[in-house]
Structures are given as C-alpha cells and as structure tokens.
Amino acid sequence: MKVAVIQLNAQADKKSNIAQAVDLVERAVARKAQWIALPEAFSYRGKLNRHNLSIVAEGIPGESTRPFFDLARKKKVFILAGSVCEKDQHSRKAYNTSILLDDKGRIAACYRKIHLFDAVIGKKVLKESKNFLSGRALATGKIRDFKVGLTICYDLRFPGLYQSYAALGCHALTVPSAFTRKTGQAHWEILLRARAIENLCYVLAPNQTGKDARGVASYGHSMMISPWGEVLARASGHKTEIIYGDMEMSAISQARAVLPAISN
C-alpha cells in the first residue's frame, strides 16, 4: 500500500490552512497514494484562549474535516485527519482529536489525545491542559488488512500506550504531531524508531514545520518508519512537503518472525 505523509506549516487562518491541506491531499492522491496522513493541528495553529477556542472548536464532522470525508469517499482513499479541536458540550475546553477515515468516507477511528503537552520551551510556557481535556480511551481502525492504533504528538513519550496497541494486534501506529524544534532535535527520530522497534509496527509521523502564530517552532522531519526501525521516508526540517513510502504486511510478518517480542 502506498502511503503519503504530509508536512505543513499551519497558522492562525483556519480557512487557508484547510484549503492548503485539501490541496496537499489531492496532490498525494494524484501520485496514487492510498492512505494519506496529515499532522496535528493541521487546520489551526495559533493562540488559544477561552474566547477563540469556542470559535475554533468544532464538531465531527465539521469545517476542518468535512472536505476530507468527501475526498475519502470520492477518491476511495484512506485519510488520517491529524488532529482538530473537537468541541465538548459539557466543558469550555476542547479535545485534541485525530480522525481516521476509511475509503468510503466513514469514520474508522476517532482518538482524543490522552497525554497533554505541558512544558517550558525556551521562554515559552506551553500548557495544553489549559484549553484541552484529556482523552481516556485507545482507538483502533482498519486500513485494508492493517489494524491501526492512533496517538498524537506528546503521546510518543509514553511507551506503554503503544505496547497496549501492539497487544491489541495493531500493525501500524500514527503520530500526527506539532513536535517542537527544541525537543525534536533531541528526541523525535529516536522515539519514533523506538516505538516501531518495540512493537514491530509501522509508524507514520506527519509533523508541523516552521513557526506557528505564537512563535513556537516545530521540528518538521516527518517520517515513516518500518517495523524493523528503518526510516523509510523523511521530510526536511523547513518546508511544506509530501513524503511517500510503502506498507507491506510481509515486512511485519518477517520482523515478528525474527523477533517474536510481542508474543514473548
């Protein structure tokens, strides 16, 4: 299966971001990609507070995802809508939610980010928990014969989450991200390859690049990792682009035959 991983630099203009994401997905489809993955916060990457969160947050389907429901159905492709701000009816906060769409334009899986990013990057205090609620459940979906486990960005630092997906029989793990430049330089590739190796799964990691509207720089270097921990495709650290790779069930079977770590 041909897979496309999209890297972009989303800003605070939601309509412009969505249009850019749609264009990139259509380009990937034109290159015969059968599964296309977008990064975290692909439709809005700006300042959030109580006022504008109520404007940015939306239902599912909503403004950010509806075009991809249509694209998946019309083009008969699978799409990972990296993450959007999902409105919660019972709270002023939202969920950071990733949506996997099947090739009929239906929701195959919907994952609410469990581990929220509260950190200090340089002089900037990033506190995701101020505006977002923490998810509580794993989410898996099917991409043809592949069972997929969904995660988002900061989840990458919690190996137990990925081991839980492996125990559920997953063959691929998704990590749509807005991984920062500072932490990405130190840990991005190491953690992605570790999650692939530990669980003998493909890892798809579409990342944001460049500075967002808050001035926070993302690392780029979106990647696709094999079940053996090899980097199959890698983006640059500074521009919008699409990288491509192939997923084969035989590669998973071979890796697990050599190292039956999951069964052990």
Catalytic residues: 40, 113, 153
The residues with which 127 forms a beta bridge, in sequence order, are: 118
Which residues make Cβ contacts (< 8 Å) with residue 3, sequence separation at least 6?
33, 34, 35, 36, 37, 204, 224, 244, 245, 246, 247
Tokens of 252: 């998973």
Q: Number of helices and strands (H, E) in the chain?
A: 6, 17
Give kind and range of the element (H or E) at residue 186.
helix 181-199
Q: Measured between alpha carbons, how far is 110 from 52 in angstroms, rounded to an integer?
A: 24
| Gap between the Cα atoms of 176 and 150, Å rounded | 9
Residue 60 to residue 251: CA distance in whole angstroms = 34
Sign of torsion over alpha carbons 74, 5, 254, 199: negative
Per-position DSSP letters for 18-70, written without gaps between them: HHHHHHHHHHHHHTT-SEEEPPTTSS--S---HHHHHHH-B-SS-TTTHHHHH
Mode of pairing for the β-strands spanning 35-37 and 2-7:
parallel
